[in-house]
Amino acid sequence: MNWKTLRGFIKKEFRQSLRDPVMQRLIFLAPMLQLTVFGFALNNETRDIRMAIFSKPNDTVIQRFQDKALASGWFIKANVSENDPFMSIQSGEAEVAIVIKDKKVEAATLLEPVPIQILISAVNSLRAQAIESYVQAILNDTLTGNNSSQKLIQIETKILYNPRMETSYFLIPALIGIIICLITVLLTSMAFTREREAGTMETILSAPIQKWEIILGKAIPSTLLAAVNSFLTCSAGAVVFGIPFTGSLFLLSLVLATFIFTTVAIGIAISTISQTQQQAMMGSFLFLFPALLLSGLMFPVENMPPFMKVFSEINPMTHFNYIMRNIILKGGDLEFVLIHVGVILGIGIISFYLAFRNFKTTLN
Amino acid sequence: MTFFKWSRTFAISRKEFFHIFRDPFTLGMAFVLPLLVVVIFGYAMEFNQNNVEVSFLDLDRSQSSRSLLEKMSSSNYFRLKQVRSPEEGMKSVKSDNSKAFIYVPPNFDKNIRSDVSEKIQVLIDGTDSAAAGVIQRYLIQITNNMSIEVHSNSRVSSTPFVSRYLFNPELNSKWFSIPGIMVVIMAILCTLLTSLTIAREWEKGSMELLLSTPVKPLEIILGKLFPYATLNIISVVTVYILARLWFDLPFRGSHIVFLFACFIFLAGYLALGLAISVILRQQLTAMQAAMIIGLLPTNLLSGFIFPVENMPQGFQWLASIFPVRWFMIVTRDQFLKGSSLVQLSFPIIAMGVASVILVSIAVVKFKGDLD
Amino acid sequence: MSSDANKAVLVSHLLVQFGEFKAVNDISFSVDKGEIFGFLGANGAGKTTSIRVICGLLKPTAGEVSVGGEVFKGNGDNLKKKVGYMSQKFTLYDDLTVAENLEFTASLRKLDQDYFEERKKYLLDFIQFEYSEKSFVRDLSGGIKQQVALVASLLHDPEVIFLDEPTAGVTPVSRALFWSLIQKLADHGKTVFVTSHYMDEVEHCHRIALMRGGEIIALDTPKGLKSSQFPYGIYQLTAKAEDITDIEKALQRSSEVESFQPHGIHYHLAPKKDNSWEKISPLILPRFTAKKIRPSLEDVFIKLVEGKNR
């Protein structure tokens, strides 16, 4: 066994990618920037709901309701220029309108009930549901006088692992996965096509060199860069967003290593079937776009129809998200982690095998 | 001194059309990809939480506790699974086998019958904060209703409240996701295709050739972008037809207003693709930049899934830079609400401003490059 | 066969097919040690394909190739060890320095550190490299890049060096300089195998094979090619008047004329037989001034490669 070639490859790849200022930024700056921007920006908690109330003047119950709603932090008062509740929503001035037509609410009796109508803009169906439940909860509280003794069955909920229900706890592990994927797949999918287009592939192939030497020579540098990257992003997650890394760091490293291996293998497989850089780019896009959407970050995997679930299950990012959340937030359930690591590894091995099979050391 | 001439612009457009039609790759990207993506994601995107796995431990085994659990499982929201001990319940949450664990204490029945309020303990997996919030809300709703049933409250029943979902009464996820995915696809196609093809032109040196002729930079830019605009409009129309006929989406707006918005948006995003390619020149880096910009902000900052309203103020400003955030509003509006041009003036003007800025950056950068 | 042991390259009945297309169609030849062997032909004639096979970069469809006694086996590694290859694009990495490029090539060839340093020093002296080893390849001129690429292909001290259009796109001065390097290599006992389409520089080759449509249509020394193709020499004719259409046709049809071709502002005429010139000169001399010249390789090339298309 002679390691000279492999060492030479690794050295060369590092020199090339670390010297280029655009690459430097792409590899080190961009990931941190993305993590911070998206980590801070994205929030699942429905806030700033524009609410308009259409009621008789001086309705104390409704006044109480409004005060409560505004104090909850979820709602803001909509600036309404119209008198028609429907139009206020149609124009986008309000997202929810509370409408009480005939009487004041306090005048309601069992014989003459005063119905309260809640109009919600359901253009965003997700947000609409959240709005409804907030409104109902606050209305319930207002009407029952928030007297907890009147509620017989109380729920004592305890949110485990993420008591303040921070979106970032959910988001950051997934973002780390996306960032690793972007780096590894984008970089390695170019690995062979760039050499082929520059003509340097001929020089490489004109030497008596083994397949595994070339493939590993390309794979190892990307792997190491991605490893540095995942360390940086994880640290940023812990420092900037206060993600509690409760699980074992060893297990975490194992998962990251497996995931990096697999995404590098996918990148290399894309590279071996592409003739040009443009094709490689398209290839990685065709992997990255569905992988991002189907990973469970944007919408839950559980709700997908069965035939779509298959795609989610062969998406390494889905499994990565499962495990990362499990380890980082829950401390890691060994059996659970190992099963999903196994799936990721399996995808990686298949990709690697395909890459190895497709790669020719002759130019045919 | 020559002035702007449409004939030269069209000559360049014609050449570009030839390129496109001879490249199966570009054609595939423009026609097959949008269809595929819309169909796949139209089916995959279901936001409503259904059949959430929940484990429970009922130590009371009374009529009341059974009725409560019955209500939960009949709601379709939850799929209940019995465990034998609190430890097992905890374990099922930790190993991701269930999203929540409900513990009904002994004496539950006896207490509520004698008007002593009783607590049910619920442990919810908070790792997915959105899902946790939904589960919590459903649970509270169910128990509230039961409280009211057991001990009827006059104030509550004398003021019944009815919610009405406007524009999407059945809360159909597809009505929400398909217009969104349409916007995302357009944004990605624009940036990727233009940044790619124009960078390729720089790399091959044929751009220098074009510039050495008396053709004006503006003519070149317009001539190059026109075919891609056409291509994008065609893919918008295909997706539109698919959305209407296949997914039965309504379209309540005006086609003219929508098309008008499309043009403004396209101008901005094509200019973004152009700016990327002019600034980065090299195919590889141009593609990478287009990919990162096309993939992440378009998906994450556009309000496609994560509402812009939920973002901190500063990031709302950041998201507003991207025309895609405004186009998302206009598209969803035109499909579901059907507002008039006047009602949509704010997002359209905002998008127009963003587009004008992007076009000027591209033109200035392009001109600056010539000197 | 003792003579075969002296052959650096031996090709017999080589066939390379891409689908239906025969890029190289049953060619056979051999190259001696220390020879400069030229491969000539238009684009697509099969030069690069043949070279790639002999270097072990392409698998032949049929036929045998041996370099220094080694036959193509497996993935061609045994051949690759014996040869150095420099492709038409001077394939160096622009974003690496000269030293780094050479270091990478050395690692591909698994050279020992000491051996590499020694070879590097020797070869850079050989090309009289006067820049810093730390200069980036992108900052070098085309001619220098080409020389550095040559150094890279020579690092492992191969027996045979294949140069695929090594002088494409460099200045005439650099080309001349590069050919003096090739000459020097041959003097050191290396076998140099070179393709080109610059006729003037191929004159330096010891022997030339002419390819057309995947076949070798002629193989000889430059001198031999000229004398076998133009045994009765060539006359350079310069027209005295503008319009010569009538006589042009007559000459092309004449049974005494082998070929009559425009050549710049002149015409080149090759007589068919020993006494042809005497027979046709009365026809020619009133209209042209004539001068007997030595045929160049370009004349050979035009006659063999382009002439046969008619």
Q: At what angle do helices A277-293 and B283-300 cross, to 10 degrees?
A: 10
Which of A3, A17, A203, A209 is most worth mutating to test chain C (most C CB atoms within 10 A of its CB)?
A203
Residue with tokens 């038409």: C88
The two structure tokens encoding residue C43: 């684009």
The chains in contact with chain C, meaning 3 or more Cβ pairs closer than 8 Å, are A
Say if A11 is an interface residue toward chain C (CB within 8 Å).
Answer: yes
Burial bucket for residue A194 (CB in 10 Å: 0-12, 13-18, 19+): middle
Confidence of residue B159 (pLDDT cuts 50, 70, 90): low
Contacts of B125 (CB under 8 A, 6+ apart): A160, A161, B93, B96, B98, B99, B100, B131, B132
| Single-letter code of the amino acid located at B47 | F
Q: Are residues B209 and B326 in the same domain?
A: yes
Across the A:C interface, residue pairs with CB atoms under 8 Å apart total 92
Q: Mean pLDDT across chain C, nearest whole number?
A: 83
C136 has which bridge partners? Answer: C97
Asked whether at least 3 C-beta pairs link C and B within 8 Å, the reply is no
Which CATH architecture does the domain made up of C2-226 adopt?
3-Layer(aba) Sandwich (3.40)
Q: For position B327, what pLDDT does the model report?
A: 92
Pairing outcome for strands A49-54 and A96-99: parallel
Q: For position C309, what pLDDT does the model report?
A: 45
Which residue among B129, B158, B187 closes a domain? B158
Q: Are residues B350 and B310 in the same domain?
A: yes
Per-residue pLDDT for C306 more than 70?
no
DSSP label of A40:
H
Using alpha carbons only, what angle is made at residue A294 by residues A291 and A295, rounded to the nearest 5 degrees? Answer: 75
For residues A105 and B159, the answer to whether their CB atoms sit within 8 Å is yes
The two structure tokens encoding residue B100: 């929540």
Q: Are residues B301 and B192 in the same domain?
A: yes
Q: For position A260, what pLDDT does the model report?
A: 95
At C108 the three-state DSSP class reads helix
Percentage of chain B with pLDDT > 90?
Answer: 5
Nearest by CB: A122 against B166, B309, B339: B166
The whole-angstrom separation of Cα C207 and Cα C228 is 14
User: What are the tens digits of pLDDT across the range B304-352?
Assistant: 888 888 888 888 888 888 889 999 989 988 998 888 888 888 889 998 9
Q: For position B157, what pLDDT does the model report?
A: 55
Q: For position B115, what pLDDT does the model report?
A: 67
The residue count for chain B:
371
Q: Are residues B39 and B77 in the same domain?
A: no
Q: How far is CA C71 from the centre of its chain?
A: 23
Instruction: Kindly determine whether residue C93 and residue A200, on different chains, have CB atoms separated by under 8 Å.
Output: yes
Which residue among B134, B158, B182 closes a domain? B158
User: What are the tens digits of pLDDT across the range C13-32?
Assistant: 988 888 888 888 888 998 88
Q: Are residues B60 and B96 in the same domain?
A: yes
DSSP label of C307:
G
Whichever domain contains B100, its CATH number is 3.40.1710.10
Q: How far is CA C60 from the centre of its chain?
A: 21
Q: How many CB atoms lie within 10 A of CB A276?
A: 14
For residues C77 and C66, the answer to whether their CB atoms sit within 8 Å is no
Q: Has residue B163 been placed in a domain?
A: no
User: What are the tens digits of pLDDT across the range B173-189?
Assistant: 888 888 998 898 888 88
The whole-angstrom separation of Cα A238 and Cα A329 is 12
Minimum distance, in Å, between the CA of residue C265 and any CA atom of chain A:
39
Q: At what angle do helices B24-44 and A306-313 cross, to 10 degrees?
A: 120
At C63 the three-state DSSP class reads strand
Top mean pLDDT of B294-308, C25-39, C278-292 is at C25-39
Top mean pLDDT of A329-333, B39-43, C50-54 is at C50-54
Say if A16 is an interface residue toward chain C (CB within 8 Å).
Answer: yes
User: What are the tens digits of pLDDT across the range C114-148?
Assistant: 999 999 998 888 888 888 889 998 898 888 888 89
Q: Are residues B252 and B354 in the same domain?
A: yes
Q: How many CB atoms lie within 10 A of CB C169?
A: 13
User: What is the model's pTM?
Assistant: 0.82
User: What are the tens digits of pLDDT across the range B216-271?
Assistant: 777 777 787 788 888 888 888 888 998 899 888 899 889 999 999 998 898 888 88
Tens digits of pLDDT across chain A (364 residues) = 578 888 888 999 888 888 888 778 778 888 888 888 888 888 777 778 899 998 887 888 888 888 988 988 889 888 888 788 888 888 778 889 988 887 777 777 767 777 888 888 888 877 888 888 888 888 877 877 644 445 566 677 777 887 777 788 888 888 899 889 988 898 888 888 888 888 888 888 888 888 888 899 999 999 999 999 899 999 988 898 888 888 888 999 999 999 999 999 999 999 998 888 777 888 888 888 888 888 888 887 877 888 888 888 899 999 999 898 888 888 878 888 999 999 999 999 999 999 999 887 776 6
The whole-angstrom separation of Cα A99 and Cα A101 is 6
DSSP label of C295:
P
At C13 the three-state DSSP class reads strand
Contacts of B362 (CB under 8 A, 6+ apart): B221, B271, B272, B274, B275, B278
The CATH code belonging to domain C231-294 is 3.30.70
Per-residue pLDDT for B35 more than 60?
yes
Q: For position B281, what pLDDT does the model report?
A: 67
Minimum distance, in Å, between the CA of residue A244 and any CA atom of chain C:
42
Interface of C with A (CB under 8 A): 52, 55-59, 75-78, 80-81, 83-85, 87-89, 91-93, 95-96, 100, 103-111, 152-153
Q: For position A149, what pLDDT does the model report?
A: 44
Domain with CATH 3.40.190 in chain A: 49-150
Class at the top of the CATH hierarchy for domain A49-150: alpha beta
Q: Which CA distances in Å does A334 have to A173, A255, B94, B311?
A: 18, 12, 10, 35
Q: Has residue B165 been placed in a domain?
A: no
Percentage of chain B with pLDDT > 70?
Answer: 90
Of residues C110, C257, C87, C241, the one with CA closest to residue C167: C87
Q: For position A265, what pLDDT does the model report?
A: 95
Residue with tokens 């989610």: A312
Number of structural domains (chain B) is 2
At B55 the three-state DSSP class reads strand
The two structure tokens encoding residue A78: 């909509």
Say if A200 is an interface residue toward chain C (CB within 8 Å).
Answer: yes
Which of A37, A91, A157, A337 is most worth mutating to test chain B (most B CB atoms within 10 A of its CB)?
A157
The whole-angstrom separation of Cα A127 and Cα A45 is 9
> Which DSSP string corresponds to A133-158?
HHHHHHHHHHHTTT-GGG-SEEEEEE
Residue span of the structural domain in which B141 resides: 52-158
Per-residue pLDDT for B134 more than 90?
no
Say if A199 is an interface residue toward chain B (CB within 8 Å).
Answer: no
Pairing outcome for strands B78-82 and B52-58: parallel
DSSP label of C137:
G
DSSP label of A308:
H
Tell me the domain boundaries of chain C. Answer: 2-226, 231-294
Say if A116 is an interface residue toward chain B (CB within 8 Å).
Answer: yes
Nearest by CB: C58 against A20, A207, A362: A362
> What are the helix (H) ranges across chain C?
2-5, 47-54, 77-82, 98-108, 113-126, 142-154, 172-187, 199-202, 222-229, 245-253, 276-284, 297-301
Q: Are residues B154 and B178 in the same domain?
A: no
Residue with tokens 């379209």: B251
For residues A262 and A347, the answer to whether their CB atoms sit within 8 Å is yes
Of residues C241, C239, C237, the one with CA closest to residue C290: C237
Q: At what angle do helices A334-358 and A211-241 cross, to 10 degrees?
A: 140
Which helix (H) or strand (E) is A351 found in, with range? helix A334-358
Q: For position B2, what pLDDT does the model report?
A: 55
Q: Are residues B266 and B356 in the same domain?
A: yes
Q: Has residue B1 been placed in a domain?
A: no
The two structure tokens encoding residue A62: 């409704």
Chain C neighbors of A2, CB-CB under 8 A: 110
DSSP label of C56:
T
The two structure tokens encoding residue B244: 């209407």
The two structure tokens encoding residue B285: 């880096």
Q: How many CB atoms lie within 10 A of CB B82?
A: 11
Which value does ipTM take for this structure?
Answer: 0.79
Which residue in B has a C-alpha nearest to residue A86's C-alpha? B166
> What are the helix (H) ranges across chain B?
6-22, 24-44, 63-74, 86-94, 108-113, 129-150, 154-158, 173-204, 206-211, 217-245, 255-280, 283-300, 313-321, 323-332, 345-370
Residue with tokens 């295709």: B193
Instruction: Kindly determine whether residue A152 and residue B118, on different chains, have CB atoms separated by under 8 Å.
Output: yes
Contacts of A310 (CB under 8 A, 6+ apart): none
Q: Has residue B154 been placed in a domain?
A: yes
For residues A318 and A301, the answer to whether their CB atoms sit within 8 Å is yes
At B247 the three-state DSSP class reads coil
DSSP label of A108:
-
The whole-angstrom separation of Cα B136 and Cα C226 is 95
Of residues A174, C305, A311, A67, the one with CA closest to residue B36: A311
